[in-house]
Amino acid sequence: MKHRLLAFLSLAIAPALLATDSLEYEGALYQVQRVPVAQQSKMHLRWLDPEGKPLSNFGALQQQIEGEGKKIAFATNAGIYERGPKPCGLTIGDGKILVPLNLADGEGNFFMKPNGIFFLDAQHGPGIVESGEYPALTIKPRLASQSGPLILRRGMIHPAFNVKSTNLRQRSAVGIVSGTKEIVFVMSDRENRMKGRVTFHQLARLFLHLGCQDALYLDGDISQMITSPAPGTKFTPNTFAAMLVLTE
């Protein structure tokens, strides 16, 4: 009887799977996924299949992860991409550079400088750095994704963001909570057309509210998050390049 009781207590206090929370802030609605330090070793970046072809969608990602004997706990698109689909900038998966650093100038959100890089290093943990500062870092990240613009840089909102902007769009981004090193993925709500469309400045204020000093824009209208999908799930048709995935 004692052993059965201990087994029951162990199940009762076992950590639950990560859940995506809904958060309303300043009249806007967001989906928020937190990844504490204890779970970050299970985070990966995926873009290509074993033959070197882009996975391109959550369905192919799920097949790859299940083929490794694992399950998806959480996944989201990792950043802006070009034809291929190929990430526009630095992309590192399993410690290997898949796409080199991109410091060029150009059109579109990726090139709205300062842009930046989200990375996860086995020794130093997660970080977000301005792209031009990256080469001076003495780290070899396990994963990294370059995107833009930087939502927050050392607690300062991107200088191009206008508090009076009327450019309301679905947007997704990643930030790091300063005190805990918790990674926070945020996406304005896909389904709510009224509260799920936000400006860059709104998004930046949310990350400050969440305790982040650094945050990086990932993508816009195509952005999507999935949590613990069942095997064989039919996902919303979408095309991605690199994807960030937390496995269990």
Tell me the pLDDT tens digit for each residue of 16-72. Answer: 446 789 999 999 999 999 999 999 999 999 999 999 999 999 999 999 999 999 999
How far apart CA 41 and CA 87 sit, in angstroms, is 23
Q: Tally the domains of the chain.
A: 1
DSSP class of residue 18 equals P
In a domain, 90, yes or no: yes
In a domain, 9, yes or no: no
Q: Which amino acid belongs to residue 200?
A: F
In a domain, 5, yes or no: no
| Of 184, 245, 229, 248, residue with least CA distance to 46 | 245
In a domain, 102, yes or no: yes
In a domain, 10, yes or no: no
Domain that holds residue 48: 20-231+241-247
pLDDT at 20: 85
How far apart CA 222 and CA 204 sit, in angstroms, is 19
How far apart CA 48 and CA 52 sit, in angstroms, is 5
Both structure tokens of 92: 């590192």
Please give the backbone phi and psi of residue 55, each rounded to the nearest 5 degrees, phi first.
-65, -45
pLDDT at 18: 63
Number of other CB atoms surrounding residue 239 within 10 Å: 12
Number of other CB atoms surrounding residue 3 within 10 Å: 7
Instruction: Calculate the CA 83 to chain-centre distance.
Output: 21
CB 215 within 8 A of CB 128: yes
Residue 8 has pLDDT above 90, yes or no: no
Residue with token string 């952005």: 223
pLDDT tens for each residue of 172-217 = 999 999 999 999 999 999 999 899 999 999 999 999 999 999 999 9
pTM: 0.91
In a domain, 3, yes or no: no
